[in-house]
Structure 1
Amino acid sequence: MAAQTWVEHTLYVRTALLQTLSTLQDAETGQRGFLLTGDEIFLEPFRNADRTIGERLGALERTILDNEVQMQRLKRLRSVVADRLAALQKRIQERGAMPDATLADRLKVGKRLMDEARGIIAEMLADEERLLTTRNAEMRWTVTSTQIGVAGALLSAALLGWATLKDRQRQVAELQTANVALRIALKQAAEQSERRERVESQLRQAQKMQAVGQLTGGLAHDFNNMLAVIVGCLNLLKRKMARGEIDKDSLIDKAMECVDRAAALTHRLLAFSRQQPLAPQTVDANKLVGGMAEMIRRTLGESISVETVLASGVWRIHVDPNQLESAILNLAVNARDAMNDEGKVTIETSNAYIDDNYAREHAEVKEGQYVLVAVSDSGAGMPPEIIAQAFEPFFTTKGPGKGTGLGLSQVFGFVKQSGGHIKIYSEIGQGTTVKIYLPRFVGEGEVAGPRREPSAAGMAFRGSPETLILVVEDEDRMRSIAVAMFQDLGYSVLAAGSAVEALALIKANPDIDLLFTDIVMPDMNGRALAEEALRRRPDLKIVFTTGFSRNAVIHNGVLDRGVNFLPKPFSIEQLAQKVGAVLGVMETT
């Protein structure tokens, strides 16, 4: 009877383990159902599981007190179950307020905890399986001994022994049936987990497609508006010229304004997607902020009070100074708009340290030393739901025509592309602070000076006809425009539609001073052309241009060292400034 008792004990332990696993799965299923539908009814299985899981683990503990190995596993299982239930509860509370990247990380952690729980239960079941095998063997030996003992007894004793044997065989059959049912249950649990993962993957894909639709819709809307103005101005300009009217400047200015806005929109999209070409330099944040303080005051207007609070001993950073200035100015303008053109904007710098706990709670953030640049306003503040959407492209709280909704997304893209972190802190009625954390730079390098605005003399620069420039561009219209711009600036120009044609011109014209080449071209790209040209003419000056940032002179979003680059689209003033600086006839600004 002792062997049978131990077999029944093992079966009870197995049943308790399966009930524990089922309870934990019920909790996960209820939580997932609530997250997908928002219906409170799905939380009932989670709450029931949360109430009963402790009782089930307690019952399990009482049955395995004699097994030290199983008790150690139960201790691990309690910890994993507690972590999983806490994670499920936290996700329920945060429903709808978490970025896609954070949600994906939480799902991975949840899956890892559930897999660990299943693994522990599987280990405990396997141990019980071994015990069951041993105890079955002991029970069979007991049955056989009983048969031998009653063989010489009376017929009634023999019949009793036969009945006992049958009863034991029935129990063995029930055990085998229970084993089959257990295997089926485990298989079904695995299939259910796979189905949940597929549903979650489909949900994430749907969210991504929704974001892409919002992005393309906003982009098409803004570009259509700008194209409508440009087309309208060109049509009116053509009609005025046909009538001999000379009042054309206002139409040209409106068209150029829309072109500039379209170019700015493209740069903002590249910044948001972290594909804008950056030219990082060693930067002193105090000098940069101090140097642009007056410009910020002029930009924000006299009704806005601007204060800079610069900490002493601020570390150096390695970023694109022009993009950092643009980000700070963008945040300052947003702060002014949040205060309805009246209030105070404070720009602060300091050293900061992001610890491991903060880094674990925020996606794409690394522990370490940072330089903090914070822009604060005394406005009305933002509620949590607005903060959650603030960095989304084309999201804006401003009225129609007062913002593209790309300002903060541009700042976000620049900060992330520079290896930093950005965070918004806001309270209703108390104002808003946007904090930018940029990694500390400990390398060598000369600190970049403050940027100066182009002078009127620079804008009116005119080249020399003695300077010969080779323009290489495979797109016919772009090539003809570039040639015309160089000629208007006073340069002598040769043009080529391919790298092969360009190399032939370089061979035939040894007096070419500068190669101005597109990068993305068929057969041989601009970088390969430049390398071959420099092999033949080591003194040749080269300027690259492109409208596509993923190319041969930009890697990981950063321009290669020593590269002269002018992004498309560019104005004739920008062309004059860049080429003049490369040729050494104009001071860079």
Structure 2
Amino acid sequence: MNISNFENQINNAQQQLAKMQENLDQPPSSEREAEAITALSISIEELHVALEELEQQNSELIITRQELEKERQQYQNLFELAPDGYIVTDRNGVIQAANRSTEKLLHVRRDHLLGKPFILFICKTSRHTFHHCLDSLFQSYEIEELELELQPRHGKPLIAGISLSVELDFKGNITRLLWSIRDLSERIANEQKNRQQAALLDVATEAIIVSDLEDKITFWNSSAKNIYEWEAPEVLGKNAMELWWQETVPQLAEAKQSALAQGKWQGELKKYTKTGREILVESHWSVIRDRSEQPKSILIVDTDITEKKQLESQLFQSQRLESIGTLASGIAHDLNNILNPILGSVQILPRLIPQPNESCRKLTELIETNAKRGANIVKQVLAFSRSEEGERQNLKLNSVIEEVEHLIQETFPKTINLVVNTPPDLWTVYANPTQMHQVLLNLCVNSRDAMPYGGTLMICAENRIVTEDYARKHLDAEAGAYVVFSIIDTGYGIPPQILERIFEPFFTTKEVYQGTGLGLFTAMGIVKNHGGFIEVSSELKSGTQFEIFLPAIEIEKIETKVSTSALPEGKGELILVVDDEKDNLYMTQILLETSGYRVLTAKDGLDAVAIFEQHYGEIELVLMDMMMPNLDGATAIAELVKIAPQVKIISLSGLATDYSLARNSKVKAFLAKPITAESLLTTIKQVIQN
């Protein structure tokens, strides 16, 4: 019975009661009748009240039903529009309901899904996992999220993440299974891509570091470990500013501030490794932003340029020294041409003045001594500039070290303890023994000066193989066999700011008149001229070590020497002297004429060719200067050979390197200025006789 019928019946009862009361002509005959009528009236009123309450409850029930319907519709919409697939199955896995996302995932319309077992859409490789899942569910009613490979009706299989829940009846029995299906293909692809990118980052030679805005390190690749020596677990989550030494923090903070302001920053930074080793890195900082373009983290790419900077410094110094050497060569050539007539003239004077007085004799000796001294200084400069090759021979450095050892024991302070360690089987080098003596002695003198209050000076030698890896880190080094001799002292040490300048010419830290600044300068030139290189290491208050690398020889080289004898005399042979320096020309003419020769002179190559054409049948020998205007010595020699192929020629030059211009021609001998009378006359005699 509905509320409306119930209300009609109440109204009918009330009307009948009213008629009964109207039909009574007299009051009720008894009290019992009156009470019955009253009770009936009250009951009718109570029914009216109950009816009103029922109507109110009915209204509330309608509202509740509407709200439930609205809520049900919302859940239905969520079910339909959810990005993940949702299906409902019975306890056996037969599909009872599915949403739109499930249609898209499985490429099947919903009306075709209903009534189908869900297992039909699971790849065979995953069905065992599916059955195991159901068995576990029926035992514990709980299951962890699992991954299954699904096979859509059309298309490739996909990996799906499956979540499962159950519906129970009032007895606690499973009635339905609720499945949530999420396509993991994109996530897996992204993870694979991230792994590939991480692998690429790990094989990169640069250190790649990512830190958040609070400087916490979130990524650390293998090269970062190789460069900075920290393993990834040691640094992840650590503060990057605290990782490096305190003195580098201001630079890092400035780099971070610039990167955040401009989006990126690059520059050179000094950092320290886990073991405290200082390195220089070329650092690139880039700001990584989130989807709202707000800074999220900072990507740092560091390249270790420590070795590169060292090589650049070595190259710069080598180029600077090479430039100075070129300048020195030009100056030395002019000085030799100046010293040559002085030295030659002073050696001729005793012939012109057979019985000089004491003052004249002393002045002559003074001039000759200082001319030779000047010539030796020029040779030192030429040795550095690679212009003075000097006479070389197959040499065991043991003998040179023994000579220097004896000299040190005789002249150095007794407060310096000398230790010498040289193996007897030291390899052979092809070197000038005098120059090797000079290099070793210069370094030992520097060590002595660094130990004014005494100490230990050690001279060592060893055979060593320089590897390709070592050679790449040292500008002048080449892989191969070397003899290395080391000079080690326990002196003051060399400050870092001075260490890079010690091979500069005229650079010295000694007092005025106590050093010229040419010792190490010359030593470097000699060693490089021999194909070697020098390594220096020093620590303040602990001492300095110089290592001199000289290439060992594999094939014994033929050694040639010119024997000397007393000053020979000529027998009237005609000699053509060619030189653009008038003083040299005059001095040579006087020396030869006083020694029994006849002389023709030419001021340059053109003049020499013209004179030779007129007298080549009489000329026994040509003395040819190499550096001249108009026609240089090498070209003039070629012209003379065309006229008389058997012509005998001795070339002269203020630079020893000019020998390379003449040695491929018909030149019989080469003399470097300044030339002594003895060497010139002896060489002339030998060439004429051969």
What range describes the TM-score normalised by the shorter chain of this pair? 0.5 to 0.7
Residues 338-353 of structure 1 aligned to structure 2 (within 5 Å): 338=450, 347-353=459-465
| Residues 374 and 436, structure 1, Cα contact 8 Å, conserved in 2 | yes
Counterpart CA distance in 2 for 1:523 and 1:464 is: 31
> 1:370 is matched with which residue?
482
| Residues 284 and 447, structure 1, Cα contact 8 Å, conserved in 2 | no
Letter in 1 for 2:578: V
> 1:464 is matched with which residue?
570
> 2:673 is matched with which residue?
568
Residues 525-540 of structure 1 aligned to structure 2 (within 5 Å): 525-534=632-641, 537=644, 540=647
Please state if 1:394 is matched with 2:394.
no
Counterpart CA distance in 1 for 2:543 and 2:581 is: 50
Counterpart CA distance in 2 for 1:569 and 1:2 is: 102
| Residues 64 and 71, structure 1, Cα contact 8 Å, conserved in 2 | no
| Residues 568 and 682, structure 2, Cα contact 8 Å, conserved in 1 | no
Question: For each residue in 1:183-238, what CA deviation from the matched residue of structure 2 results, as whole angstroms up to 9, or x when unmatched?
Answer: xxxxxxxxxxxxxxxxxx9xx99999999899999x99xx99xx9xxx9xxxxxxx
Deviation of 1:440 after TM superposition, in Å, equals 1.9
Deviation of 1:84 after TM superposition, in Å, equals 8.9
Counterpart CA distance in 2 for 1:552 and 1:298 is: 40
Aligned residue for 2:500, secondary structure, equals helix
Please state if 1:67 is matched with 2:172.
no
| Residues 625 and 653, structure 2, Cα contact 8 Å, conserved in 1 | yes
Q: 1:62 to 1:245 in 2, by over 3 A?
A: farther
Mark the runs of 5 or more structure 1 residues left unpaired by the alignment. Answer: 4-60, 96-105, 126-170, 179-200, 232-243
Counterpart CA distance in 2 for 1:405 and 1:560 is: 39
Deviation of 1:479 after TM superposition, in Å, equals 1.7
Please state if 1:516 is matched with 2:642.
no
Greater shift, 475-484 or 461-470, is seen at 461-470
> 1:51 is matched with which residue?
none
Aligned residue for 1:389, secondary structure, equals coil
Deviation of 1:517 after TM superposition, in Å, equals 1.2
Counterpart CA distance in 2 for 1:529 and 1:2 is: 100
Deviation of 1:351 after TM superposition, in Å, equals 1.0
Letter in 1 for 2:673: K
Counterpart CA distance in 2 for 1:522 and 1:551 is: 15
| Residues 404 and 437, structure 2, Cα contact 8 Å, conserved in 1 | no
Deviation of 1:480 after TM superposition, in Å, equals 1.7
Mark the runs of 5 or more structure 2 residues left unpaired by the alignment. Answer: 1-80, 84-186, 210-222, 229-243, 249-266, 273-278, 295-311, 343-355
Aligned residue for 2:680, secondary structure, equals helix
Deviation of 1:375 after TM superposition, in Å, equals 4.0
Q: 1:378 to 1:70 in 2, by over 3 A?
A: closer
| Residues 307 and 347, structure 1, Cα contact 8 Å, conserved in 2 | yes
Counterpart CA distance in 2 for 1:560 and 1:268 is: 28
Aligned residue for 2:548, secondary structure, equals strand
Residues 470-489 of structure 1 aligned to structure 2 (within 5 Å): 470-489=576-595
| Residues 284 and 448, structure 1, Cα contact 8 Å, conserved in 2 | no
Of the candidates 515, 520, 523, which is equivalent to residue 411 of structure 1?
523
Deviation of 1:398 after TM superposition, in Å, equals 2.8
Q: 1:368 to 1:503 in 2, by over 3 A?
A: same
Query: How large is the Cα RMSD of the aligned pairs?
Result: 5.7
Counterpart CA distance in 2 for 1:311 and 1:448 is: 28
> 1:542 is matched with which residue?
649
Count of aligned positions: 407
Deviation of 1:249 after TM superposition, in Å, equals 5.1
Residues 296-311 of structure 1 aligned to structure 2 (within 5 Å): 296=407, 300=411, 309-311=421-423
Counterpart CA distance in 2 for 1:388 and 1:447 is: 38
* TM-score of the two chains, using structure 2 as the length reference: 0.46
Deviation of 1:511 after TM superposition, in Å, equals 4.6
> 2:384 is matched with which residue?
272
Deviation of 1:394 after TM superposition, in Å, equals 0.6
Relative contact order higher in (CA < 8 Å, ≥ 6 apart): 1
> 1:436 is matched with which residue?
548
Q: 1:470 to 1:349 in 2, by over 3 A?
A: farther
Q: 1:245 to 1:311 in 2, by over 3 A?
A: closer
| Residues 378 and 432, structure 1, Cα contact 8 Å, conserved in 2 | yes
Counterpart CA distance in 2 for 1:336 and 1:578 is: 42
Q: 1:315 to 1:81 in 2, by over 3 A?
A: same
Question: For each residue in 1:547-587, what CA deviation from the matched residue of structure 2 results, as whole angstroms up to 9, or x when unmatched?
Answer: 245547259xx9999873322333434534554565679xx
Counterpart CA distance in 2 for 1:259 and 1:63 is: 86
* TM-score of the two chains, using structure 1 as the length reference: 0.53
Whichever structure has more helix as a proportion of its residues is 1
Deviation of 1:65 after TM superposition, in Å, equals 3.5
Counterpart CA distance in 1 for 2:674 and 2:417 is: 36
| Residues 65 and 71, structure 1, Cα contact 8 Å, conserved in 2 | no
| Residues 279 and 559, structure 1, Cα contact 8 Å, conserved in 2 | no
Please state if 1:497 is matched with 2:597.
no
| Residues 570 and 596, structure 2, Cα contact 8 Å, conserved in 1 | yes
Counterpart CA distance in 2 for 1:562 and 1:262 is: 28
Whichever structure has more strand as a proportion of its residues is 2
Counterpart CA distance in 1 for 2:440 and 2:360 is: 37
Deviation of 1:438 after TM superposition, in Å, equals 0.9
> 1:553 is matched with which residue?
660
Identity percentage over the alignment?
26
| Residues 300 and 336, structure 1, Cα contact 8 Å, conserved in 2 | no
Q: 1:446 to 1:548 in 2, by over 3 A?
A: closer
Counterpart CA distance in 2 for 1:360 and 1:266 is: 34
Q: 1:347 to 1:448 in 2, by over 3 A?
A: farther
Residues 72-471 of structure 1 aligned to structure 2 (within 5 Å): 72-76=199-203, 79-81=206-208, 110=282, 247-248=359-360, 253=365, 255-277=367-389, 280-287=392-399, 289=401, 292=403, 296=407, 300=411, 309-338=421-450, 347-376=459-488, 381-426=493-538, 432-446=544-558, 461-471=567-577
Counterpart CA distance in 1 for 2:674 and 2:82 is: 89
| Residues 326 and 385, structure 2, Cα contact 8 Å, conserved in 1 | no
Counterpart CA distance in 2 for 1:355 and 1:561 is: 42
Counterpart CA distance in 2 for 1:305 and 1:581 is: 50
Letter in 2 for 1:315: W
Letter in 2 for 1:512: I
Question: For each residue in 1:237-262, what CA deviation from the matched residue of structure 2 results, as whole angstroms up to 9, or x when unmatched?
Answer: xxxxxxx9973555555555554444
